[in-house]
Structure 1
Amino acid sequence: MMNSLPKLREMTLLHLVRRGRDGYPDALAVRDASTSLTYGALWDRASRAAGGLRRAGINHGDAVMMMLDNSAEAFVAFVALSFLGAIPVPTNPTFRGALLEHLVTETGCVAAIVSSERAADLRAAGAGQIATIISRESDPADQALAASGEDLISWSSVLDAEPIEPIEVGPWDVLAIICTSGTTGLSKGVLTTHAQAISMCRHLSFFQDTTSLSQEDVHLVVAPLFHAFGIFAGLVAPLLTGASAYVVAAFRPSMFWEEVRKSGATMACLVGPMTDFILAQPASDADADNSLASVYILPRTPSAADFEKRFNVQSASGFGSSEAGTTMLNVESADVDRGIVGRPRMGLQARLVDEHDFDVEQGEVGELIVRDDDPWVMTPGYVGRPEATVELYRNGWMHTGDLMRVDDAGLFHFVDRAKDSIRRRGENISSFELELQASDHPGIAECAAVGVGHPADQEVLLVVRRTQGVGVSETEIVEFLIGRVPHFCVPRYVHFVEDFPRTPTGKIRKRDLRELGDVAWDREVAGIVVRR
């Protein structure tokens, strides 16, 4: 049984898989509805796949786009690339056109592993740059497509190769390139080291013994594997303790508990809104009768306490970014004020500073900047963007862009993203806090606040997705907010949408909303005056 953390110099994916092969080869490592691999079988299959990928022309240091749906085999491909010293670039398999072309160029991918029905999109986006396309067949029709494409190499032929001995790597070597969400600009490629990825998992697996994993645990993976949260928290974290992962093809709220019962899952990582979708399912007398003991929610939602109570589970949460990894941990009560993200994780130095990097006073809002006691556990930078990397590490500290404050108990509260704050009449408005207040209206299912007009003196635009079956007008929303927020925070503009433009990870792409200010309802035109 192995339930201790690796030493810093051993924090590589190769070490974790090798440790499983040597220490408990017959224990389950990863499975899905059709595939089940022990630690020994994972090593063997990944070693063969690495041999096939090398035969296909993929070498050490090559960036390889992975456009695959959730499956155990997708993790085999990820491990195989790491065995070669190649660099996986997990990518949303629904991307196409200009966005896909941007990511191919931004990350410098020279090869790709895709399902064959997406090969044409990738071929068009990566013309002249993607030299090798590996087709991951999923059904006979896909196999026929793969056979007809001269530049496609089938995954089955990749597996039909002699195994190779993996290339030895260090914790400082790049394990993957993770694409940022692009909420305020085009996505960038974040270089993620082995130490950084495993450090993220370490903090998830050992929450001060609150939600610790052991070899007997089964980790349910429902987050998409093109997201760092899915691939690292979902699949790498169980390797730390010799636990196993069960990969669900796609998250379906109505099937969540069926997947838990079928897999025997004891732990799950959920993106915050998933808990709301699961809670929205019809209640059952059997809700609390399940094998799930703990959930990790990122970010924690106000419904976390209800989730714990209804389903008899323990929850914890964290806060971080692709660049910094996990910065905050929250293992305290789920019934906390909205905005609390917890305390700095062990080994992290955290400060709140003003625009000149001077510390702000206790209780004041400042940007979170961080650095770690250990090397290589935060990103070394962005792919091909040295200026952005220098700006990220200004004055020797990583600048997260997260505005926070610390209360008297030492708990950090998220206030806003630095680029999402709104400047109006000399006042700084937190879009996050305004959205929280607006979301209390039963007619508002989701909303986003942005500043429109000149950056030095903006007006507030609130974009709203209405609750189905509940009618609400622009006037009602403004009147609801008057008295709940300071006068200068009350939106001048309100606009309704059926849904929001979103990033690959489901975040609202706020930069696309600002143009709606020209067509939005205007309270000043409607004659509504907001007084101090």
Structure 2
Amino acid sequence: MKTPFTPLEAALRTFAVHPERPAVVDGTLRLTYGEFAGQISKLVQLLHQRGLQAGGHVLLIAPNRFDTLLAFHAVPLAGGVLVPLNPAFDDDGLNVLSRHSDPQLALVAQAHLERVQATLNDLGIPVIPLCTEHDLNPAWQDFVPEPLTLPDTLDENAPISINYTSGTTNAVSADPKGAMLTHRNVFVNNVNMLYHLNLRPGHQYLHAIPMAHGNGWGCVWSVTAAGATHVMLRGPEDLRSTVEDGITHLCASPSMMGSLADPASASALPRPVRIMLAGTSPRPGMIGALQSQGFEVLHGYGLIETSAILTITDLYEEKTVGPDARIVARQGHPMLFGGEIAVVREDNTPVPHDGVTPGEIVIRSNTVMKGYYKNPRATRRAIQDGWLHTGDLAVIHPDGRMDILDREGDLLKIGGQPISSVQIETVLYRHPSIREAVVVASRTASGDQPVAFVTLHPGAQVQGREIVSFCTPHLPEYALPRRVQIVSELPKTASGKVLKHVLREQVKEKRAALSAD
């Protein structure tokens, strides 16, 4: 017998087995899993009443709130495909992607409805407002809860969601990339997250990552599968207090954890908190700083196209290497069912496991997307001969752990010598005044020149020439930054990644870049 792989099956089990356990905490709102299931049933009925058909797309634009979590369960249980867009996308991005995704219905937070209302009106898309002033949305409260079941038409190879990559809004009108993640993709990702995070009933998971970004790295469903409690983060300023108030697990990007890892505000946690760091490489010292406070740090790597996290340096591996946070800073091995991951040269031959030779990360896994929605050319570029080509550069160490270097376009070639921007950034982070550091290339006729953009810790005062002098003993002369720009903030995507193309444009136009001398 064969039944479809889907994360919804585990959710239905939790509703049946743990109806009295706490399911959701969102401000003053508290719901058990029995009550949560009742709200899901009501929203499913409303979606059908509003015309949702099997396989129909449902646009979702909302912050991390209870209504948003509800949609991640109700839409696929109603037979639909969720299209979550991060509210942090700019207005042009939201409107272009709203058109591109071909929705039948839209679930939009009232605070963001005005931004896309004209487009949705033009498309004739019915809108259900979310995140109202009510704890329980009155739009579906008139319905009577009914037993929840899997849709009759469920196909494990059909999309459960279409997730637009955060970089697409940079040129979204030309080449939008909506990764079609299938029920099977997300099911395997759920198993990986449940195993490595070790989620169980009674645990409290904090949704710090936007649910709209890679489905909260899959945790919108894996927390439910575990019978753990979903806790909503109301704002970044509440991160420390919320983490200290009973949280046991969270996922976050290094940029989100910057304030908690700052020595000036560090404090011991009242209990251990397991955290999955991913998204970008953490700055040197961050992992050790978090560990010293009581965080149990897992470090992962993945893409939207791989249903989020795919590789990990796990807690067991940490204990085998002692306090050496440099090992944890590597992105590790494939997760339990991560599939095959290789680092290859341009001719697709594997690089040696020497920790030095760079190559492109390629992936063959059950978590790799079905393809990009309505973009076959981008799909063909990404998936070649059964392997997903990521465009990310890495090395493999003798112990088999992968270590991310750069995106292909971020590798600098100076005087014929290749050097990763991360190698230069690592040295910059050793300076006690530097909070964040990013290096991009200034393209010249004679080759690349490294240009550094840095932010400083509060109260720090330092000049560009001092930073270059600090780097001199630690880098070859050709790799020293030729300019250092001290800025108050770095431009970032909705998911916290630095927008290097914005910085490259500033360098190209010679705007604001201060000479190091």
> TM-score interval w.r.t. the shorter chain?
0.7 to 0.9
SS in 1 for 2:301: strand
Quick check: 1:319 aligned with 2:278?
A: no
CA distance in 2, matches of 1:456, 1:320: 35
Unmatched segments (≥5 aa) in structure 1: 1-6, 144-153
Q: Which amino acid counterpart does residue 510 of structure 2 have in structure 1?
A: V
1:198 aligns with 2:187: yes
Does residue 289 (structure 1) correspond to residue 284 (structure 2)? The answer is: no
Unaligned runs of 5+ in 2: none
Task: Check whether the contact 1:381–1:389 (CA below 8 A) recurs between aligned residues.
Answer: yes
How does 1:28-177 map onto structure 2 within 5 Å? 28-126=22-120, 128-129=122-123, 131-139=125-133, 155-161=137-143, 166-168=150-152, 169-177=154-162
Report the CA distance between 1:320 and its aligned residue: 0.9
Choose the corresponding residue for 1:359, options 350, 358, 368: 350
Partner in structure 1 of residue 475 of structure 2: 485
Q: Which amino acid aligns with 1:371?
A: R
1:79 CA drift (Å): 1.1
Deviation of 1:470 after TM superposition, in Å, equals: 1.8
Match of 1:24? Answer: 18
* 2:382 corresponds to 1:392: yes
Aligned to 1:147: none
1:218 aligns with 204
Q: 1: CA distance between counterparts of 2:387 and 2:4? A: 25
Matching residue's letter, 2:277: I
Amino acid of the residue matched to residue 216 of structure 1? Answer: G
Give 1:99's aligned amino acid.
Answer: G
Give the distance between the partners of 2:502 and 2:265, measured in 1 at CA: 38
**Structure 2 CA distance for aligned equivalents of residues 112 and 335 of structure 1:** 48
The Cα offsets for residues 473-493 of structure 1, whole Å up to 9 and x where unpaired, read as 222222222232222222223
Q: TM-score, normalised by structure 1?
A: 0.84
**Aligned equivalent of 2:438, options 418, 435, 448:** 448
| CA distance in structure 1 between the aligned counterparts of 2:309 and 2:265, rounded to whole angstroms | 34
Asked if the contact 2:331/2:404 (under 8 Å) is kept, the reply is yes
Counterpart amino acid of residue 93 in structure 2? L
> By how many angstroms is 1:404 displaced?
1.0
Compared with structure 1, are the counterparts of its residues 500 and 274 closer, same or farther at alpha carbon in structure 2 (3 Å cutoff)?
closer
Please tell me whether the aligned partners of residues 9 and 170 of structure 1 are also in contact (alpha carbons under 8 angstroms): no
Aligned counterparts of 1:418 and 1:223: Cα–Cα separation in 2? 26
Counterpart AA for 2:256: M
Q: Report how far residue 97 of structure 1 moved.
A: 2.6
CA distance in 2: counterparts of 1:423 and 1:261, whole angstroms: 45
SS in 1 for 2:326: coil
Alpha-carbon distance change, 455 to 423 in structure 1, aligned in 2, over 3 angstroms:
farther
Query: C-alpha offsets along residues 183-237 of structure 1, whole Å, 9 cap, x if unaligned?
Result: 8854521111222223223222212xxx41222322222222222262622x312
Residues 399 and 456 of structure 1: CA distance in aligned 2, closer, same or farther (over 3 Å): farther
Paired residues of 1:178 and 1:189 also in contact (CA < 8 A): yes
Is the partner of 2:139 in helix, strand or coil?
helix
**TM-score normalised according to structure 2 size:** 0.87
State the alpha-carbon separation in 2 of the partners of residues 341 and 71 from structure 1: 30
3-state SS of the aligned residue for 1:378?
coil
Paired amino acid for 1:295: I
- Alignment partner of 1:305 out of 284, 288, 304: 288
Q: 1:159 to 1:11 in 2, by over 3 A?
A: farther
Q: Structure 1: how far apart are the matches of 2:150 and 2:401? A: 44
CA distance in 2, matches of 1:135, 1:289: 39
Contact 1:182 1:503 in 2 (8 A): yes
Question: For each residue in 1:343-373, what CA deviation from the matched residue of structure 2 results, as whole angstroms up to 9, or x when unmatched?
Answer: 122342121111221222232211111112x
Work out whether 1:272 is the aligned partner of 2:263: no
One-letter amino acid of the structure 2 residue matched with residue 203 of structure 1: N
Letter in 1 for 2:194: S
> What is the CA–CA distance in structure 2 between the aligned matches of 1:46 and 1:342, rounded to whole Å?
37
Q: Which amino acid aligns with 1:157?
A: A
Q: Whole-Å Cα distance in 2 between the matches of residues 505 and 205 of structure 1?
A: 22
- The one-letter amino acid of 1:420's match is D
Q: What CA distance in whole angstroms lies between the structure 1 residues aligned with 2:362 and 2:69?
A: 33
Q: How many residues get paired?
A: 495
The CA deviation string for residues 38-76 of structure 1, in whole angstroms up to 9 with x for no partner, is 333222221211111222223222222212122222211
- Asked whether the equivalents of residues 85 and 212 of structure 2 are also in contact (C-alpha less than 8 Å), the reply is yes
SS of the residue corresponding to residue 99 of structure 2 reads helix
Change (3 A) 1:163 1:386: farther
Which residue, 226, 231, 245 being the options, matches 2:230? 245
Contact 2:5 2:183 in 1 (8 A): yes
Root-mean-square deviation (Å): 3.0
Aligned equivalents of 1:281 and 1:73: distance in 2?
36
Kindly provide the CA deviation profile for residues 249-294 of structure 1, in whole angstroms up to 9, marking residues without a partner as x: 2232xx44543454x3322223223333124486698x3423x442
How has the CA–CA distance of structure 1 residues 484 and 78 changed in structure 2, closer, same or farther, with 3 Å as cutoff?
same
1:413 to 392, 403, 407: 403
Q: Is the 8 A contact 2:62 2:131 kept in 1?
A: no
Deviation at 1:520?
A: 5.4
Using the alignment, how far apart are the partners of 1:392 and 1:30 within structure 2? 37
Contact 2:99–2:119 (CA<8 Å) still a contact in 1?
A: no
**Residue 428 (structure 2) aligned to one of 408, 422, 438:** 438
Verify the 8 A CA contact 1:434 1:449 in the aligned structure 2.
yes
- 1:491-513 deviations in whole A, cap 9, x for unaligned? 22333332222111111111111
Distance 1:323-1:8 versus aligned 2 partners, 3 A rule: farther
Q: Which range moved further: 381-390 or 109-118? A: 109-118
Give the share of equivalent positions with the same residue, in percent: 23
- Contact 1:28–1:243 (CA under 8 A) maintained in structure 2: yes
- For 1:57 and 1:273, locate their aligned partners in 2 and report how far apart those are by CA, in whole Å: 41
Evaluate the alpha carbon distance shift between residue 138 and residue 294 of structure 1 in structure 2; reply closer, same or farther with a 3 A threshold: same
Secondary structure of 1:216's aligned partner: coil
